[in-house]
Structure 1
Amino acid sequence: MTATPGRAAADNEVRVCSGQVRSPLGFAAAVDRIGELAAETLGWPGSVLTPLRILGRHVVPVAELVPEAHAERVCFGSDPVLDRAETATWVWPEMDGRVPPPAARVTGMLAPARHWRSALTAAVPFARFTSTAIVVPKSVAVAADFTSTCLIRARQFGIAVLSADGETVDVELPGRCFHDEPPAEHTAVSRWVNEIVYQQLIAAEAPAPSRS
């Protein structure tokens, strides 16, 4: 394995967002609290991480460390690499066995938003490689176009739909669950996202233990 120094993203594709204040998205609770409630409702294992802006989309990752891979990377001094151009080369066949192993397992990606259209736009890019869910205020879930349009589109992508009202989170539509499926083969995007999540996990005070 090749030790690779960590790098900071220079293209503003990743931004840490504050979820500690009252949500500006129409929820009665802070975004981080909404994330915790949603992950618990869906049964997603791992740590609910700080809200992030990735590829211009506001999301809340849920993830856990892969102990063996993390230990190997610590041993080799291989920090998270956030340079998207560099991580894109890691999925090339000729790089097999020559790059750091994925040390995070993204168990889900939440997309809280004021409106379901914005939430779906945020969640769709991640639905190819992990469980995803959108969270909207309860008032949105009773709108006329919610059942006729939102749930149909979410079902097409396997995205779960949740509504939140204060401390209550309800599942309006179950989504595709990756937890019992073989790990999806990494793409350039998913490998880069994995490094972003890995950085957030090791920065957390106490990441949740892995199931393995």
Structure 2
Amino acid sequence: MSSTPARTAAPNETRLLPSRAIPLPELPAATETLAASAAELLGWRGVVLPPMTLLGRRVVVVAELLPDAHAERLCLGSEPVADRTTVATWVWPEMEGRVPPPAVRLVGVLAVARHWRTGLASSVPFARFGNAATVLPSSVAMTHDYLANCLPRARRYGLSVVTAQPDAEVTLDLAGRHDGIPVEDTAVTRWINEVVYEQVLATASA
């Protein structure tokens, strides 16, 4: 039984670098700055919260405080409840009329990333709840991969795509879905609402 000798590269043979060795473009400004500029560009009115982790994704949420519901919760002493197990019981039929009302509205969710795959992976899960967008360095938009793969996927999920220029100016590359999306009241949506409500109050008092 013969064995095949291992192939060795000649000294002058060209070697391809793995894709992970190619450095990703840097973001031209801080995540918070780019997210705030993108929210303004998209016309999202509300509080731009600091980056947070939701559903395992690092995102920036834009939310609007609902004055009437917030006032009701203040009167009842009902503070935000971030415990997911507790909030999961709020959608049980026997809990109807016994749980606090949602006190914020999610205006949109932004994912600021250096690569479009990371941006889409972070923002797509939130497209079913409302507006979602990703912010990318403008240099990414110059690639065939972006045109052939990123934009069609973003369009399919209704995402907006915003690109950030080297001077941190943002431009809209793809307009996402802006129609009203009926969001089902589930344990997940109620929990997200409570986490965001907690962050809105923390930001207001900071």
- The corresponding residue for 1:50 is 50
* Poorly superposed stretches of 4+, deviation over 6 Å: none
- The corresponding residue for 1:91 is 91
- The corresponding residue for 1:32 is 32
- Give the Cα–Cα distance (whole angstroms) in 2 for the partners of residues 108 and 61 of structure 1: 6
Contact 1:151 1:173 in 2 (8 A): yes
- Give the Cα–Cα distance (whole angstroms) in 1 for the partners of residues 57 and 177 of structure 2: 20
TM-aligned CA deviation for residue 94 of structure 1? 2.7
- Give the Cα–Cα distance (whole angstroms) in 1 for the partners of residues 39 and 106 of structure 2: 12
The RMSD of aligned alpha carbons is 1.8
Contact 2:130 2:181 in 1 (8 A): no
- The corresponding residue for 1:173 is 174
Distance 1:152 1:49, change over 3 A: same
Aligned AA (1:170): T
More helix by share: 2
Contact 1:25 1:113 in 2 (8 A): no
Q: Which runs of 5+ in 1 are unaligned?
A: 1-23, 208-212
- The corresponding residue for 2:12 is none
TM-aligned CA deviation for residue 167 of structure 1? 2.7
Deviation per CA, 1:170-191, whole angstroms, max 9, x where unpaired? 111111125xx26522222111
TM-score by length of 2: 0.83
Helix, strand or coil for the counterpart of 2:204? coil
TM-aligned CA deviation for residue 53 of structure 1? 1.3
The 5 Å alignment of 1:66-81 reads 66-81=66-81
Larger mean Cα displacement after TM superposition, 121-130 or 91-100: 91-100
TM-score by length of 1: 0.81
Distance 1:113 1:25, change over 3 A: farther
Q: How many residues align?
A: 182
Helix, strand or coil for the counterpart of 2:80? coil
Helix, strand or coil for the counterpart of 1:82? coil
Distance 1:118 1:78, change over 3 A: same
TM-aligned CA deviation for residue 25 of structure 1? 7.9
Q: Which runs of 5+ in 2 are unaligned?
A: 1-23
Q: Give identity over the alignment, percent.
A: 53
Which has more radius of gyration? 2
